[in-house]
Structure 1
Amino acid sequence: MNEWSELLFRTFLFILSLFLVTKLLGKKQISQLTLFEYISGITIGSIAGEAITGLEKNYLQGLTAIVIFGVITFLADYLSLKSKKFRDWVEGKGTVVIKDGKILEDNLKKERYTVDELSSLLRQQNIFNVADVEFALIEPEGRISALLKKENRPLTPKDLQMKMPNEKEPQTVIIDGKILDGELTEAGKGRGWLYSELEKLGVTLDNVFMAQVNSYGELTVDLYDDKIQVPSPAQRPLLLASLKKAQADLEIFSLSTDCEKTKAMYKKNADLLQETINKLSPYLNG
């Protein structure tokens, strides 16, 4: 085997071995790394690079070293699942750096973070004033988790006592101009409905890059031709507008009649329709 053939063989061998080791270790190796996983990852990569290019050495030794490091990392993750003490020792624990809007300087120095670095991490979460923070800690992997004081948190529908509908996973029914029948069935729709909706939007199937059906059964599309403006789904807002108009008409009818019995009938139905609108508004607001 000549030098170039051996290099090609080693490259494919170690790409395959690194892929298998990474699959064994799981997604944590490609997400937020702990200190131990960071050391293990760069070491495995260094061994692979040296084993691929070091033609004068026995590549089986490099492969063995990668397997050993992979097994050690796997065992460390396994022990971390079984023992909190081991997990805290290997992965570390979060450190509180802000409490009640006050920076805990000693903890910040302990983690070797400056105030500027802390401010930068907070700005990444759209927090610009330390005094607005109720509680913040630096996670073991180095990112910061912060909880704003209650008066500084964004309002949610729950704060306003609004009932909101449950959201379901949107189904992608078209990709690259191809209909995905399985996802279309999962959304409770058929091809006839899909073609009808595309016709309403004035687009052709072959011009659709991606299309999804949301939890309300509405179709949204993204076209290859970005210059074409596709209207947003309007069924729900139109229905809400129609209900509001009907309710307003009943109110007007009740005011325009002199018959008390008729006036009471219009008023009663206007109130019933208003109750219906209140219940449906979270579902029909676009």
Structure 2
Amino acid sequence: MPDWFEIVLRTFTAVVILFALTKALGKRQISQLSPFEYITGISIGNVAGYMSLDLDNLWYLGVISLLVWVSLSVGMEFITMKSKKVRDIFDGKATVLIKNGKLFKKQLFKERLTLDELLEQLRKKDVYRVADVEFAVMEPSGEINVLLKKAYRPITPDMLGWKIGEEHEAKTVIMDGEVEYDALEKSGHDRMWLEQELKRNKLRQEDIYLAQVDSNGKLTLQTADDRHLPENIQSEPKERVAILTEQFEAELIRLERLARNDKDRQVYQSALDRFQSRFKPQ
């Protein structure tokens, strides 16, 4: 076998093995690393490079070495999950940098963090004055979390005593011209409602690049030619009444279809008949 072909084959094999082992290590290995995981990552990379290029030694010895490193890392993760003392040694502890607006110089020196670096991290949290900080801590991952004093925190509805309804994430009901039926059902609507909304906006399904329904049931659209609907334009009262009428009718039809029994279905059907006889033109 030619050397160049063997190198290609070994490199490809190393990539496949590394990918499989990284998946086995879990997401934390590729996000926030502890010192032990950092060492493991460097060592695994070195062994993989050695395994793919060194033609003088048996390649399977590199695979064994990779398996040993991964086994150590996984075993250490299980140990740190069981023991806080071991976790503190290998993962480290959080360090308080600011308390009640006062900087702790010794803690900054311990973490080898300059004032410029600290102020930069505070600015990333939209904090521009140390005196405004109630509590700032450096996590074992190196991230700095900040709690502002009450006087400088943003006002929330809870502070004002307001009761706010629960809000859910927006459901993507159309993506690249394809209807996402599961998301549409979870949004509380059906295909007929979606078709009526598209018809009202004079659009076809294939024209839609992205369509989402928010927790209030409002549909927002972005077309393939980069138009955003609905546009922030105040419609005429007659047009708004017509839109609300169509929406109410579509909601009655949806509820009638989703009724759990005949009694409920008759209630919705009766309401729909009265609505159509009163508001819909004959």
Q: TM-score range by the shorter chain?
A: 0.7 to 0.9
Q: CA RMSD in A?
A: 2.2
Other-structure match for 1:68: 68
Corresponding letter in the other structure for 2:57: K
Name 1:110's counterpart in structure 2.
110
How far apart are 1:232 and its partner, in Å?
A: 5.3
Q: 1:62 to 1:213 in 2, by over 3 A?
A: same
Match of 2:209 in 1: 209
**Aligned residue number for residue 221 of structure 2:** 221
Tell whether the 8 Å contact from 1:100 to 1:134 is kept in structure 2 after alignment. Answer: yes
Q: Which moved more, 1:87-96 or 1:18-27?
A: 18-27
Aligned residue type for 1:102: K
| Cα separation, partners in 2 of 1:215 and 1:115, compared to 1, 3 Å | same
Deviations 1:180-214 (A, max 9, x none): 22222222222111111122233332222221222
Task: State the shift of 1:170 in Å.
Answer: 2.4
Partner of 2:5: 5
Between 114-123 and 58-67, the greater mean CA deviation after superposition: 58-67
Superposed CA offset, 1:139-173 (max 9, x none): 11111011000000001111111111111232221
Equivalent in the alignment of 1:195? 195
TM-score, normalised to structure 1's length? 0.77
Aligned to 1:174: 174
CA contact (8 A) 1:171 1:183 kept: yes
Task: Note the C-alpha offset of 1:87.
Answer: 0.3
Match of 2:80 in 1: 80
Q: Describe the SS at the equivalent of 1:136.
A: strand
Percent sequence identity over aligned pairs: 42
2:134 is paired with a residue of what secondary structure?
strand
Aligned-pair distance for 1:121?
1.0
Kindly provide the CA deviation profile for residues 71-91 of structure 1, in whole angstroms up to 9, marking residues without a partner as x.
111011111100000000000
Contact conserved, 2:221 with 2:230, CA < 8 A, in 1?
no
CA–CA separation in structure 2 for the residues paired with 1:12 and 1:186? 43
Structure 2 residue 175 is the aligned partner of structure 1 residue 164: no
Q: Indicate the residue corresponding to 1:252 in structure 2.
A: none
Instruction: Report whether the alignment pairs 1:51 with 2:51.
Output: yes
Matched to 2:118, the amino acid is L
Say if 2:15 is the partner of 1:15: yes
CA contact (8 A) 2:222 2:228 kept: no
Equivalenced residues, count? 237
Are the counterparts in 2 of residues 36 and 90 from structure 1 also a CA contact under 8 Å?
yes
What amino acid is aligned across from residue 133 of structure 2 in structure 1?
V
Q: When the two structures are superposed, what TM-score results if normalisation uses the length of structure 2?
A: 0.78
Q: CA deviation at 1:14?
A: 1.5
Corresponding residue SS for 2:229: coil
Deviation at 1:233, TM superposition (A): 8.9
CA displacement at 1:3 relative to structure 2: 2.2
Structure 2 gap segments, 5+ residues each: 242-282
Partner Cα distance (2:66, 2:213) in 1: 46
Q: Distance in 2 between matches of 1:207 and 1:3?
A: 54
In structure 1, runs of 5+ residues without a counterpart are: 243-286
Alpha-carbon displacement from aligned partner over 1:98-140 (angstroms, at most 9, x marks no partner): 0110100011111111111111111111111111100111111
